[in-house]
C-alpha cells in the first residue's frame, strides 16, 4: 500500500505563515504525498513551491463554517481554480442542512461543481454536528449534486473522523462517490483502517508521522 498517495498534507491553521506553507510543500514533494491542502491565499505560493512536482493543490472554501452565501462560495471556488488549485474542499451550510433545507444544500453543491468543471470537488459535511440521519441526507445531497468526494470534517469542529461515520458514508456513496476522512488522523494504524473501510483520501497534518511510524 502506497499510503503517501492517500494523503492530503494539510495546513489550515490561522497562524500559518508563508514560510510554513513552503515547508509543507517541500515535505509533500519529499514524501510524494498526493496533495497539499491550504487556504486560498496561499495557492499561488504553493503552486510556485510545487512546480515540477506531481503534488496537487487542494484549497478550502468557506472554511471552516460554511455559512457564506452560495454566490460568495461560487466566487471563492472559481477564484481558487484560477489561482491554480486542482481540487476544492467546500463546507456545506450546516444550519440549512439541520433545518432540512435539502434543496438549498443540493443547489449550492451543484453550483460550485458547475463553476469548477472537471476539477475535483470534496464536500465537507462536518459529521460531529450531525445526527446519523442528517449525515445520510448530506451524503445523498452531495451524490445527487455530482460531487466527487464527501468529506467527514474540517478538523475545526468538536470532533473529527470516526470509523462509524465512514461506514455510514460508504453505505450512501458506494462506488459512485469517494470519501475523504479528516480530523484526528494521527497514526498509521488508524489511517490504514480508514483505507480498509473504503476511504480514498486522508486529510491530515500528521502525514509524515503516518509514513514513519511503525510500519505493519
- Enumerate residues 6+ apart whose C-beta is below 8 A from 68: 62, 76
Domain segments of the chain as ranges: 3-212
What are residue 61's DSSP bridge partners?
A: 90
User: Model pTM?
Assistant: 0.97
> How far is 12 from 2, CA to CA, in rounded Å?
24
Residues 201-211 pLDDT 10s: 999 999 999 99
Q: Domain 3-212, what architecture?
A: Alpha-Beta Barrel (3.20)
Select which of 56, 113, 135, 151 is catalytic: 151
Select which of 8, 62, 89, 165 is catalytic: 89
> How far is 73 from 116, CA to CA, in rounded Å?
11
**Cβ distance 93 to 63 under 8 Å?**
no
Select which of 56, 73, 135, 180 is catalytic: 180
Question: Catalytic annotation on 193?
Answer: no
What DSSP string runs through 1-41? Answer: --GGGGEEEE---TT--HHHHHHHHHHHHHHT-SEEEE-GG
Residues 7-47 pLDDT 10s: 999 999 999 999 999 999 999 999 999 999 999 999 999 99
Question: Catalytic annotation on 8?
Answer: no
The pLDDT of residue 191 is above 90 = yes
The pLDDT of residue 106 is above 90 = yes
What pLDDT sits at residue 214? 61
Mean pLDDT of 93-106: 98
3-state class (DSSP) for residue 86: coil
What pLDDT sits at residue 215? 54
Question: Catalytic annotation on 136?
Answer: no
> How far is 132 from 204, CA to CA, in rounded Å?
24
What pLDDT sits at residue 212? 84
> How far is 152 from 87, CA to CA, in rounded Å?
16
Amino acid at each position: 500500500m502506497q499510503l503517501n498517495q492517500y494523503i492530503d498534507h494539510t495546513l489550515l491553521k490561522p497562524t500559518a505563515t508563508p514560510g510554513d506553507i513552503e515547508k509543507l510543500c517541500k515535505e509533500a514533494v519529499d514524501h510524494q504525498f498526493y496533495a497539499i491542502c491550504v487556504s486560498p491565499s496561499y495557492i499561488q505560493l504553493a503552486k510556485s513551491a510545487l512546480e515540477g512536482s506531481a503534488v496537487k493543490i487542494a484549497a478550502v472554501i468557506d472554511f471552516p463554517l460554511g455559512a457564506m452565501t452560495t454566490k460568495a462560495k461560487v466566487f471563492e471556488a472559481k477564484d481558487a481554480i484560477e489561482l491554480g488549485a486542482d481540487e476544492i474542499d467546500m463546507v456545506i451550510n450546516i444550519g440549512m442542512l439541520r433545518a432540512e433545507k435539502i434543496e438549498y444544500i443540493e443547489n449550492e453543491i451543484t453550483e460550485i461543481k458547475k463553476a469548477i468543471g472537471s476539477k475535483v470537488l470534496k464536500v465537507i459535511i462536518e459529521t460531529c454536528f450531525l445526527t446519523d440521519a442528517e449525515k445520510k441526507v448530506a451524503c445523498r445531497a452531495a451524490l445527487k449534486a455530482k460531487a466527487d468526494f464527501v468529506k467527514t470534517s474540517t478538523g475545526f469542529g468538536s470532533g473529527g473522523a470516526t470509523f462509524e461515520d465512514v461506514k455510514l458514508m460508504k453505505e450512501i456513496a458506494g462506488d459512485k462517490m469517494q470519501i475523504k476522512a479528516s480530523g484526528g488522523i494521527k497514526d498509521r494504524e488508524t489511517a490504514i483502517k480508514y483505507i480498509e473501510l473504503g476511504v480514498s483520501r486522508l486529510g491530515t497534518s500528521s502525514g509524515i508521522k503516518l509514513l514513519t511510524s511503525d510500519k505493519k
